[in-house]
Chains A and B, each alone.
Chain A
Amino acid sequence: MYLHPRTLARLGSFELRAKQIVEGVMSGQHRSPYKGFSVDFAQHRPYVSGDDIRHLDWKVYARSDKLHLKQYQQETNVDLIVMVDCSGSMNFGSRLFAEASGSAQKTSIDGRDNWTKFDHATAVAAALSYITLSQGDRVGMVTFADETLSFVGRSSSRGTWRQIVRALAVHPVDKPTDLRRAIDQTLAKVTNRCIIALISDMFEDLDTLRQAMARIRHRGHDLVVFQVLDQSELTFDFADPAPFQGLEGEPMLRIDPRAIKQSYLDAINAHNKAVQKLARSFGFDYQLVNTHEWLGPTLASFIAHRNAMIKRSKLS
């Protein structure tokens, strides 16, 4: 179980349509934000009095002697590709597993007693996938580190959920992140425009991130960045001097954490702001996810914020 019941219950009150205006061929409930780009789906509807006759499909009238309007705003389904970071840095967490999992289970299946960023990322991925699937939209998923590790093809079938869950039941690898390469490999398998949910701690160079986002934008996809960070990474509340060891091959460093706390916080906050600014500069959404906070409110808040932004863009 990756979704806490409270998370699912909270998310159930929202619909992903608040985000996307896409009229898919399968559900037809969403308005596509990719107006003018989607030519694969067109629809006719009976003419009613008052409709603009410029949109009448005269060919249909010739064949069937009935008046139908040719719809220019075509509705499409939403393809969501969830990219989950499986690099070594994601295998870190300071929250107790028993507290975060919401169940009586005190340790993970593999015996860990801490709730890692990867655990939280998989929860985010599962939540997004579940919501999308429950709305009949197609979901695909990619796990990556220095390259894509697994790929679940887009589908809206019920079996997709099981495939995604199975794909997420892996361990992070002891490798650094190479987001640009993973994005390149993912985009190579995606032909139509879709929404990419990137769930990662974003511990990448800003240049690499910029190049990756530019590639996504160039291919016309939308990107939602979920930056997953542990509480201790945000506050750095370590008291005793100790050797610090990284998860992606960094050298061990003996430090007094209180002595460098301010500098550390300055550095990580500057990085996070830069990532957020970078995403916004491409028109992408950004959400910081704290592993010590419940996921439901975070996602709900994010989706509500995103809906509001879409409505404002529509009105304008």
Chain B
Amino acid sequence: MTFLHPIMAALGIACIAIPILLHLLMRRKRRPVVFAAMRFVIEAYNKQRKRLTLEQLLLLLTRIALVALIALGLAGPMLSSAKLPGNAASQLVFILVDDSLNATLTTRDSASELSGHIDSALDVMHQLNQSTPVALILLSTPPRVAVSLSTDHAAVIRAIEAIEPADAQADITGALSLVEPLPDLSEADATIVLLSSLRKGSINPQETIDDISQRFASLTLIATSPSRLQPASNITITQLEPMRRIVLTGNNRNIAPEPIQLRIELSRSGPIVRTKATTTINASIESGRSQSASTQASVRWQPGQEQAFATLSLSDPSLSGQPQDTTLAVRIDNDALLGDNLRRAVIQLRQQIRVGVVSSSQFLPDQGVAAFAGADWVRAALAPAPGSPITTIDIKPLNIDPPTLASIDALLIAEPDQVPANAWPDIATFVQRGGSAVVLTPANQGVHLWHDAMRSAFNLPWTIAREPMRLDQPAALNPSPDQQGKQLLAMIAGEYEALAQPVSIWQRLSAYPENPNDIVLRTADGDPIMLAVRPSQDTSDYVSSGLVIFLAVALDPDWTNLPAKPLFVPLVHELIRASSSRSLVSRTRIAGQRLSGPLSQMTLTKASASSGPDRIDPPPTQVARAVSHAGIWQLHDATGRSRGIIAFNPDPHAGNTSISDEKTIIDWLSNALHNQEPILLDEQSPADAINTQMQQTNTGDLLSLPLLIAALVLAIIETCLARIASHARKPIAGVVT
């Protein structure tokens, strides 16, 4: 056993002599009492002598024990020397600072809440014992250990002073998982000082926190209560989605490029939810570091409304002929949280999309409509006029090879029955690398054996009949596409029902996918007539697998009147463009999200003015990395070649400034403490309160409290014994006067 205050312990042991000395002093020479009836005094004394001696002995022992317990209690005995404050293993302190976007909240005071967290962390550091190991962990996603457990307090203080706000959300769960003792100090006590406002944007109560209490002899978590926070209103741009990721500018400079349509989602939090409000949205196209076009819109909020949507259209004639990645930026009015008032998206500008039409037949302009084959209908639909942004290239089935496929963006196989079996793997590779393939059903086949090679090459989980099914009654199209179809045909969703109404189907191949989500279109009877699937789910952050679309109806008058109906042209266009856009991986990321795949191996250089580093090199090992700061970054591969740009946006979840419920926080954080409640401080000065609490924690596991409680009990016993031994006010019977 060791003592927190050894000198006090020595003094306490010495104090045991006090009752003995007092006992001896009480036996000092007093003035004798002369008494006549001594014979009766002696007789009474002889009767009581044993009991009196026992009483006195018990009283003396009780007093000695009482003094010893008080002295030992004040000396702070501990069972293990590892818990001594002077010992580095005694107390580990983990300072967790919320540097997330939510911590940049500015209320009535000019300083942000992050400034307060930094001040509190510095105050804690200045009052810690120099031998106490301290670690600094930053909460923004991904949480990271800024300074490992160390007694180098100067380094920790420098790291605290260098904290910069990130645009990511706080990940308290991940940060707590980083709280680990030093390998040789598993028996140490630990105190976690969680410096966060714990607003709803910084916590995630649905996420389960692992129990980390078993890593330490004892674990205390100290945080500031959200009850003292000032309410703050904030509006967040939670989503910015361009309707097309690929914008075609065309070859003809005299024709304006198509407008860029944006879908914007907003949310608001804090007291402002209860009021009416208007938010101005400003959307613009950023070409490099300049803005070329902009537009504005307003969103009117009703009381109680937390979410709003807006659709904007941007037109910029100067975009013609610029084949490059372009940034779209959306801004809203400034509020308490500035970081989430700007959001960006990256679109790709292209002059045209090259579509290879696989057909053995040659299109002849003087041929009548009655002689049109499927390929002819498609060609006519995709390139209705010169200068169209979609151009078609005829590819003979026997000419399908990798170089040919590399020169096109999409492949439309009008006569799949003519495609050699050895060409299907090349087509599969083409799709695997991001190309799209639209496969039509050939009209002149009685038995369809060709799709065996297709299903095998793409590993399609579909069941396709070998013979077509002729319908007794012509089937109409279902007035609404399936889920897959809604995504592919989003641009014509409003008109689809009217366009689909005149379409009739007399013959079809029965095709049923294992996954109903693969269905794009079906008849009114529910039979699928168009399927789509991404053959490989091995998507990377840079290029994703393309789509395979299968039309189970031949473009032939014996099968359907679709080619002759108004739906056909927009349907073919949207299938080609949407599938190409879907094949192009999104160039928008959320700050703090880990990068993986080829993207993680690229060098990022900053292309916009923002906080954080200007260059991020790929890590030496295959570990995932993340960009914590919003902005535009240029991608460079290992050879230094530019691979376009990528936008990192603030995490919209971090924009919720509503004050969390205290009970929710306690319940959530207690998971990490084996259901022991964390300490939430209400004081105005969190640093002082935290230091006070740490002092209590430092001595919390000592034996002082039990000893002092025992001393209190012994004091009560001593009082009773002393009263008994004093025989004061004892009722006396038999007094004769």
Interface size on A (CB < 8 Å)? 49
A68 interface residue per 8 A CB criterion: no
Report if A234-B737 is in contact (Cβ < 8 Å); known contacts: A92-B36, A263-B48.
Answer: yes
CB of A144 to closest CB in B, whole Å: 17
Interface flags for B30-53 (1: CB within 8 Å of A; 0: not) read 111111111111111101100010
Q: In this complex, what residue of B is CB-closest to A240?
A: B30
Residue numbers in B under 8 Å from A130 (CB-CB): none
What 0/1 pattern do residues 226 to 249 of A give for CB contact below 8 A with B? 000111111100101111111110
Residue A138, interface by CB 8 Å: no
Interface string of B527-538 (1 = CB under 8 A from A): 000000000000
User: Which residues of chain A are near B727, meaning CB under 8 Å?
Assistant: 256, 258-259, 261
How many Å lie between the Cα of A92 and that of B41 in the bound state? 15
Docked pose: A244 CA to B55 CA in angstroms: 20
With a cutoff of 8 Å between Cβ atoms, the chain A residues found around residue B732 in the complex are: 261-262, 265
Cβ distance B668 to chain A, nearest Cβ, rounded Å: 64
B734 touches A260 (CB 8 A): no
Asked whether B737 lies within 8 Å of A259 as measured between CB atoms, the reply is no
Please tell me if the beta carbons of B37 and A203 are within 8 angstroms of each other in the complex: yes
B385 at the interface (CB under 8 A from A): no
Inter-chain contact B36/A244, CB cutoff 8 Å: no
Chain B residues, Cβ within 8 Å of A252: 32
Q: How far is the CA of A122 from the CA of B546 in the complex (A)?
A: 137
Q: Which residues of the partner chain B approach A207 to less than 8 Å between Cβ atoms? A: none
User: Could you tell me if B41 and A230 are in contact, using CB atoms closer than 8 angstroms?
Assistant: no
> Interface size for chain B: under 10, 10 to 19, 20 to 34, or 35 or more residues?
20 to 34
Once the chains bind, are B26 and A231 in contact (CB under 8 Å)?
no
Q: Given the complex of chains A and B, what is the CA–CA distance between A253 and B45 in angstroms? A: 9
Interface string of A194-230 (1 = CB under 8 A from B): 0000000101000000000000000000000000011
Closest 3 CB pairs of A and B: A246-B38, A263-B44, A92-B36
Interface string of A265-302 (1 = CB under 8 A from B): 11111011000000000000000101001000000000
Beta-carbon contact of A92 and B34 below 8 Å: yes
679-737 of chain B: CB within 8 A of chain A: 725-728, 730, 732-737
Interface status of B27 (Cβ within 8 A of chain A): yes
**Shortest CB distance A33–B (Å):** 30
Distance to closest chain B CB from A205 (angstroms)? 9
CA distance A75 to B735 in the complex (A): 44
Q: Which residues of B contact A88 (CB under 8 A)?
A: 36
Using A203-B37, A235-B735 as known contacts, say yes or no to A253 and B730 having CB atoms under 8 A apart: no
Interface digits, B9-45 against A, CB 8 Å rule (1 contact, 0 not)?
0000000000000000011001111111111111111
Chain B residues whose CB sits within 8 angstroms of the CB of A166 once the complex forms = none
- In this complex, what residue of A is CB-closest to B729? A258
Select B44's contact among A201, A251, A264, A293, beta carbons within 8 Å.
A264
Most buried by B among A89, A238, A252, A263: A263
Least Cβ distance of B3 to chain A in Å? 38
Q: Does A110 contact B (CB under 8 A)?
A: no
In the assembled complex, A250 has its CB within 8 A of some CB on chain B: yes
Inter-chain CA distance A271–B26, complex, in Å, is 33
List of A residues within 8 angstroms of B725 by Cβ? 256, 259
Docked pose: A263 CA to B737 CA in angstroms: 17
Q: Answer yes or no: A133 CB below 8 A from chain B CBs.
A: no
Assess whether B44 is in contact with A230, with CB atoms less than 8 Å apart.
no
Within the assembled complex, what's the spacing in Å between the Cα atoms of A252 and B33?
9
Nearest chain-A residue to B725 (Cβ)?
Answer: A259
> B36 to A265, Cβ gap below 8 A?
no
> Does A243 lie within 8 Å of B36, measured CB to CB?
no
- For A239, the closest partner residue in chain B by CB is B728
Asked whether B734 lies within 8 Å of A266 as measured between CB atoms, the reply is yes
Question: What is the bound-complex CA distance between A244 and B39, given in angstroms?
Answer: 11
In the complex, number of A-B residue pairs with CB atoms less than 8 Å apart: 126
Is A90 interfacial (CB-CB < 8 Å)? yes
Q: List 8 A-B contacts (CB under 8 A).
A: A92-B34, A92-B36, A245-B34, A251-B42, A256-B52, A262-B730, A264-B44, A293-B737
Residue of B26, B31, B41, B726 touching A255 (CB-CB under 8 A): B41
Contact of A271 among B38, B40, B41, B728 (CB under 8 A): B40
Which A residues are CB-close (under 8 A) to B27?
254
The interface residues of chain B lying within 8 Å CB-to-CB of A290 are 737
Q: How far is the CA of A201 from the CA of B39 in the complex (A)?
A: 12
A117 proximal to B (CB < 8 A): yes
Contact B40 A264 (CB under 8 A): yes
> Taking the nearest CB of chain A, how far is it from the CB of B731, in angstroms?
9
Contact A247 B36 (CB under 8 A): yes
The reply to whether B52 and A264 form a contact with Cβ atoms under 8 Å apart is no
Taking CB atoms, residues of chain B closer than 8 Å to A258 are 726-728, 730
Contact A235 B737 (CB under 8 A): yes
Q: In the assembled complex, which residues on chain A have CB atoms less than 8 Å from the CB atom of B30?
A: 240-243
Taking a contact as CB atoms under 8 Å apart, the answer to whether B41 and A260 are in contact is yes
The reply to whether B36 and A90 contact each other, CB–CB distance below 8 Å, is yes
The smallest beta-carbon distance between A223 and chain B, in angstroms, is 22
The CA of A256 and the CA of B44, in the complex, are separated in Å by 11
Please judge, given known A-B contacts A253-B41, A264-B40, A265-B734, whether A259 and B33 are in contact too, CB under 8 Å.
no
- Contact of A246 with B44 at beta-carbon distance under 8 Å, contacts A258-B726, A261-B732 already known: no
| The one of B33, B52, B737 that contacts A244, using a Cβ cutoff of 8 Å | B33
User: Which residues 104-125 of A sit at the B interface, judged by CB distance below 8 A?
Assistant: 117
**Residue from B39, B43, B727, B735 having most chain A Cβ neighbours under 10 A:** B39
How many angstroms from the CA of A260 to the CA of B38 in the assembled complex?
Answer: 12
- Using Cβ atoms and an 8 Å threshold, which residues of chain B touch A262? 44, 730, 732-734
Counting chain A CB atoms within 10 Å of each CB, the highest count among B27, B38, B726 belongs to: B38
Instruction: Give the docked Cα–Cα distance between A290 and B732 (Å).
Output: 19
How far is B49's CA from A256's CA once the two chains are assembled, in angstroms?
Answer: 11
The answer to whether B44 and A241 touch across the interface, beta carbons within 8 angstroms, is: no
CB-based contact B33/A243 at 8 Å: yes
CA distance A247 to B37 in the complex (A): 9
A233 and B32 contact, CB distance less than 8 A: no
Most buried by B among A201, A238, A254, A268: A268
Q: Are B52 and A259 in contact (CB under 8 A)?
A: yes
State in angstroms the CA–CA spacing of A246 and B43 once bound together: 13
Are A245 and B37 also in contact (CB < 8 A) when A265-B734, A269-B734 are?
A: no
Q: How far is the CB of B633 from chain A (nearest CB, A)?
A: 93
How far is the CB of B43 from the nearest CB of chain A, in Å? 5
Which chain B residue has the least Cβ–Cβ distance from A94? Answer: B35
Contacts of A241 in B (CB 8 A): 26, 30
**For residue A260, which residues in chain B have a CB less than 8 angstroms away from its CB?**
41, 44-45, 47-48, 52
Q: Is the CB of A253 within 8 A of B38?
A: yes
Q: Which residues of B contact A92 (CB under 8 A)?
A: 34-36
B52 vs chain A, min Cβ distance (A): 5
Q: Is the CB of A242 within 8 A of B728?
A: no
Which residues in chain B, 297-324, are within 8 Å of chain A measured between CB atoms? none
Chain B residues with Cβ under 8 A from A254's Cβ? 27
Indicate if the CB atoms of B43 and A267 lie closer than 8 Å.
Answer: yes
Chain B residues with CB under 8 A of A235: 735, 737
A242 touches B32 (CB 8 A): yes
B736 partner, pick from A264, A272, A293, beta carbons under 8 A: A272
Q: What CA separation (Å) do A245 and B732 show in the bound complex? A: 23
Chain A residues closer than 8 Å to B55, beta-carbon distance: 259
> In the docked arrangement, what's the CA distance between A249 and B565, Å?
144
Residues of B within 8 A of A272 (CB): 736
Q: Are B48 and A247 in contact (CB under 8 A)?
A: no
Q: Are B39 and A255 in contact (CB under 8 A)?
A: no
Known A88-B36, A243-B32; 10 more pairs at CB < 8 Å = A117-B36, A203-B36, A230-B36, A231-B737, A252-B32, A258-B730, A259-B52, A260-B45, A262-B733, A263-B45
Instruction: List chain A residues, Cβ under 8 A from B45.
Output: 253, 255, 260, 263
Chain B residues within 8 Å of A267, by CB:
40, 43-44
Task: Give Cα A293–Cα B737 distance, bound, in whole angstroms.
Answer: 9
Chain A neighbourhood of B736, CB < 8 A: 234, 269, 272, 288
| Closest Cβ neighbor of A250 among chain B residues | B38
Q: Quick one: given A235-B735, A263-B48, are A247 and B33 in contact (CB under 8 Å)?
A: no
A272 closest partner in B (C-beta): B736
Residues of A within 8 A of B44 (CB): 260-264, 266-267
Whole-angstrom CA separation of A242 from B34 in the bound complex: 10
